[in-house]
């Protein structure tokens, strides 16, 4: 049984109607003179960087080795447009990806929905693009999945059981379900159900399908790609909850790249021809076949509201 989430729909409306920006602040090392919630490009040329090799990383939601090949054609295109060498960096965790950009070792990246605000606040990430369908629609849903014969048919059946999250930085793997379970069902981790962590969405999907995990919240875009690649089959998992649509991975650059280079990188994203590419084959499974412009202020408003509901702070170390 699938349930659309009224509580998160209300949160989405609140994000647009009230002060979702009020609690969001950048780390002290960054400035935001135009109040668009992302780090400004440094004014002094001496604070801007122009590396010979651009390092790109995709969010570590699945096996990084798979995505090195998937993105290669796109990275070749970025090389042509920017005149730079471009290298794929296979990160193993969201925190490692954020730290790499904060330390200046990562220049272009796709950060997943949940880690996007942390990357913006703590690493100077400037998101500007998202994958979308031909009609401009985009996003994914959080699903709480279980396996057949688990005894879980509704969300209420999770009480007294163990729920497996992915990671605390994940929107659909932790933050959104935590907010939903509390707001909609009056259920909190440690009080109404036990918790564990799988580390990644594909781990959770496989764990449920193989009956190692009883029930888990995941991004259905990841589950969908695993179904299409026959990693799991439809009869191995059941959906007991489906949320509203959330923004998916946001792509962008480190704030301190030279302005001209940032514009060239944007050009590479929006001029890429998807037809017949590995990128289209992989992400076309989700109906995505282009990059579209986005803004962090508008498109991540609901995610910042979810974070606020979960008392998330953006303390950068």
Q: Is residue 85 part of a domain?
A: yes
Q: Is residue 57 part of a domain?
A: yes
pLDDT at 62: 64
> Are 113 and 252 in a shared domain?
yes
Tell me which residue range forms the domain holding 161.
140-246
Tens digits of per-residue pLDDT, 77-108? 999 999 999 999 999 888 999 999 999 999 99
> Are 193 and 262 in a shared domain?
no
pLDDT at 51: 98
Q: Is residue 9 part of a domain?
A: no
More confident residue, 178 or 286: 178
> Are 272 and 190 in a shared domain?
no
The answer to pTM > 0.85 is: no
Is residue 2 predicted with pLDDT exceeding 60?
Answer: no
Mean pLDDT, residues 172-186 = 91
> Are 46 and 101 in a shared domain?
yes
The beta strands (E) that lie in the chain are given as 53-58, 85-88, 108-111, 125-132, 140-146, 162-165, 194-197, 215-219, 238-246, 250-254, 290-293
Q: Beta 108-111 vs 85-88: how paired, if at all?
A: unpaired
Is residue 158 predicted with pLDDT exceeding 50?
Answer: yes
> Are 237 and 286 in a shared domain?
no
- The count of structural domains within the chain is 2
Tens digits of per-residue pLDDT, 201-219? 999 999 999 999 999 999 9
Tens digits of per-residue pLDDT, 98-142? 999 999 999 999 999 989 999 999 999 999 999 999 999 888 899
> Are 208 and 283 in a shared domain?
no
Q: Is residue 300 part of a domain?
A: yes
Is residue 10 predicted with pLDDT exceeding 90?
Answer: no
Tens digits of per-residue pLDDT, 263-308? 999 999 999 999 999 999 999 988 899 999 999 999 998 888 888 8
Tens digits of per-residue pLDDT, 45-75? 999 999 999 999 999 876 777 899 999 999 9
Q: Is residue 11 part of a domain?
A: no
> Are 27 and 167 in a shared domain?
no
> Are 38 and 133 in a shared domain?
yes
> Are 217 and 251 in a shared domain?
no
- DSSP assigned state of 193: B
pLDDT at 22: 47
More confident residue, 33 or 285: 33
Answer yes or no: are the C-beta atoms of 47 and 56 closer than 8 Å: no
The CATH number linked to 304 is 3.40.190.10
pLDDT at 12: 39
More confident residue, 22 or 201: 201
Q: Is residue 5 part of a domain?
A: no
Q: Is residue 198 part of a domain?
A: yes
Q: Is residue 316 part of a domain?
A: no
200, 216, 246 — which closes off a domain? 246
Comparing CA positions, the residue from 254, 261, 251, 264 lying closest to residue 290 is: 251
| CA 123/CA 39 separation, integer angstroms | 9
| Sheet order of strands, 125-132 included | 85-88, 53-58, 108-111, 250-254, 125-132, 290-293
204, 222, 246 — which closes off a domain? 246
Is residue 16 predicted with pLDDT exceeding 70?
Answer: no
> Are 164 and 203 in a shared domain?
yes
> Are 204 and 131 in a shared domain?
no
pLDDT at 139: 87
pLDDT at 1: 34
| CA 85/CA 53 separation, integer angstroms | 5
> Are 115 and 49 in a shared domain?
yes
Mean pLDDT, residues 215-234 = 93
Q: pLDDT averaged over the chain?
A: 90
246, 280, 300 — which closes off a domain? 246
């Amino acid at each position: 049984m699938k349930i659309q989430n009224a509580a998160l729909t209300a949160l989405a409306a609140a994000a647009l109607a009230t002060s979702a920006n009020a609690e969001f602040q950048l780390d002290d090392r960054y400035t935001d003179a135009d109040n668009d919630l992302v780090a400004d490009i440094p004014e002094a040329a001496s604070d801007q960087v122009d590396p010979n090799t651009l390092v790109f990383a995709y969010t570590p939601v699945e096996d990084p080795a798979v995505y090195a090949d998937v993105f290669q054609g796109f990275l070749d295109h970025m090389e042509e447009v920017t005149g730079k060498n471009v290298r794929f960096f296979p990160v193993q965790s969201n925190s490692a990806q954020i730290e790499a950009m904060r330390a200046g070792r990562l220049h272009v990246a796709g950060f997943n929905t949940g880690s996007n605000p942390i990357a913006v606040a703590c690493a100077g990430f400037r998101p500007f693009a998202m994958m979308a369908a031909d009609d401009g629609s985009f996003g994914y849903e959080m699903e709480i999945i279980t396996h057949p014969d688990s005894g879980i048919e509704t969300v209420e059946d999770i009480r007294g059981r163990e729920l497996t999250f992915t990671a605390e930085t994940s929107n659909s793997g932790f933050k959104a379900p935590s907010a939903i379970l509390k707001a909609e069902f009056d259920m909190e981790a440690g009080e109404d159900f036990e918790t564990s962590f799988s580390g990644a969405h594909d781990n959770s999907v496989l764990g449920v399908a193989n009956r190692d995990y009883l029930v888990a919240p995941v991004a259905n875009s990841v589950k969908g790609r695993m179904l299409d690649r026959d990693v799991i089959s439809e009869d191995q998992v059941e959906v007991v909850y489906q949320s509203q649509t959330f923004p998916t991975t946001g792509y962008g650059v480190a704030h301190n790249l030279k302005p001209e280079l940032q514009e060239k990188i944007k050009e590479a994203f929006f001029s890429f021809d998807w037809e017949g590419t590995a990128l289209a084959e992989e992400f076309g499974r989700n109906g995505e076949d282009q990059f579209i412009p986005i803004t962090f202020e508008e498109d991540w408003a609901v995610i910042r509201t979810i974070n606020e509901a979960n008392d998330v702070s953006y303390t950068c170390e």
